[in-house]
Amino acid sequence: MLFGYPIAATAENWLHECLLEMVQTIHTNHDGRQVALAWPDIIPAAHRDTLHRRTGLYDRLAQYSAAAGKLSVPERQQVLACIVQQNRIADLVTCSTDCDSLSDLPKAIQAPVAELFAFELLTGLGVRDRHYHAIYTAVPYHVCPFCGCEYFDAPGAPREDLDHYLPKSLYPFAAANLRNLVPMGMKCNERYKLAQDILRDAAGGRRRSFDPYADRHLKVVLDNSVPFGGADGQTPDWQINFDPDSVESTTWDNVFHVRERIKRDVLDSSFWQWLRDFSAWFKKRMGIADPGDAEVLDAMRTYAEDMALTGLTAREFLRAPVFQMLHRHCKAGNQRVLALMKDVVAMAVP
Ligand SMILES: [Zn+2]
């Protein structure tokens, strides 16, 4: 993940907290063999006016209560513990704690839990739009941080995908928790992440993942790429590194196929066009008809610095590390790369 979202955007988490409080009330009533609180009294007073006409919520709570009433006390305790466990997002992604998944709960409660917490109340109440607005206005670049290549539309446009970072099919108690909900580009969400378990690998082993609401800035570095090492003998053999590198970035790459996508969809497909763009820039900026080695080297460094200034502007953010890598090889005395770059500025590239 190239950057984290501001935690302040999750402040309006009252709906999630209401759901948990109502479920807690249901459990307390069953455990104490008390008469269940009638609708709408079961809704926390501060939000009763907002929620009391939500008949879909009432139906789902009634189904949950009926199922919970048939569980034993230890089974209900397991469910309550699971509610707490599944919402410790920051601890779960660092593997400092663990949690049951939906299938670990008593069979009779699984469907009512999934129904209650998957209910699309967030959208209808405007919470989702305010959450997106808070993120969009706070982050400097309006791109998907999971790939860096998809632009985010402004608030008011048709909504971007909202991913359940811990998938709701496994961890439904976190399904309405804004701490677990992250705006995500459509490609990242619908073609790569899907319902993959961010907490566990394919073999079921626990793995560490980025906290999407942590303050983080990660760079893509291409310096170790091998010029002319690609399959066509002309394009570099791209070595895509993350700075800083971490076990979390391995999970990120495994889930979102970041390296594969960067290589195939950006670097291989854009490399020669970016060299042509550099050639045009060189002619305009430098105005030198027959540049020497030092002039080409200086131009490459300046161009990489200029490109870096544009920051995360979708796939263009990879131009800077490409020219940093080329400059690095030329500076180290790679005559073949230097000859290529002199051809480039003379407009003799393929
Ligand atoms: Zn994306």
Task: Give pLDDT tens digits for 80-115.
Answer: 999 999 999 999 999 999 999 999 999 999 999 999
C-alpha of residue 17 to centroid of ligand 1, in Å? 29
Cβ–Cβ under 8 Å, residues 116 and 15: no
Residue 348: per-residue pLDDT: 59
DSSP code, position 190: I
How large is the average pLDDT for residues 335-348? 91
Query: Is the peptide bond prior to 40 cis by the omega test (within 30 degrees of 0)?
Result: yes
Instruction: Report the alpha-carbon distance of residue 225 to residue 239 in Å, rounded.
Output: 4
Token pair for residue 99?
Answer: 């949690």
C-alpha of residue 159 to centroid of ligand 1, in Å? 14
Q: Environment class of residue 256 by beta-carbon count within 10 Å: exposed (0-12), middle (13-18) or buried (19+)?
A: buried
C-alpha of residue 308 to centroid of ligand 1, in Å? 20
C-alpha of residue 150 to centroid of ligand 1, in Å? 5
DSSP code, position 3: B
Q: Kindly tell me if the per-residue pLDDT of 219 is higher than 70.
A: yes
How large is the average pLDDT for residues 9-25? 96
DSSP code, position 288: -
Cβ–Cβ under 8 Å, residues 173 and 117: yes
In this structure, the number of other CB atoms found within 10 A of the CB of residue 96 comes to: 10
Buried b (16+ CB within 10 A) or exposed e, 268-302: bebbeebbeebbebbeeebeeeebeeeebbebbbb
Residue 162 — very low, low, confident or very high, per pLDDT cuts 50/70/90?
very high
Instruction: Report the alpha-carbon distance of residue 313 to residue 1 in Å, rounded.
Output: 15
Rounded CA Rg of the chain: 26
Residue 308: per-residue pLDDT: 92
Q: In terms of Cα–Cα distance, which of 118, 164, 141, 167 is closest to 19?
A: 118
DSSP code, position 192: I
How large is the average pLDDT for residues 247-276? 97
Ion ligand 1: residue ranges with CB closer than 5 A: 144, 146-147, 150, 185, 188
C-alpha of residue 234 to centroid of ligand 1, in Å? 29
DSSP three-state, residue 143:
strand
Q: What is the pTM of this model?
A: 0.93
C-alpha of residue 176 to centroid of ligand 1, in Å? 22
C-alpha of residue 121 to centroid of ligand 1, in Å? 25
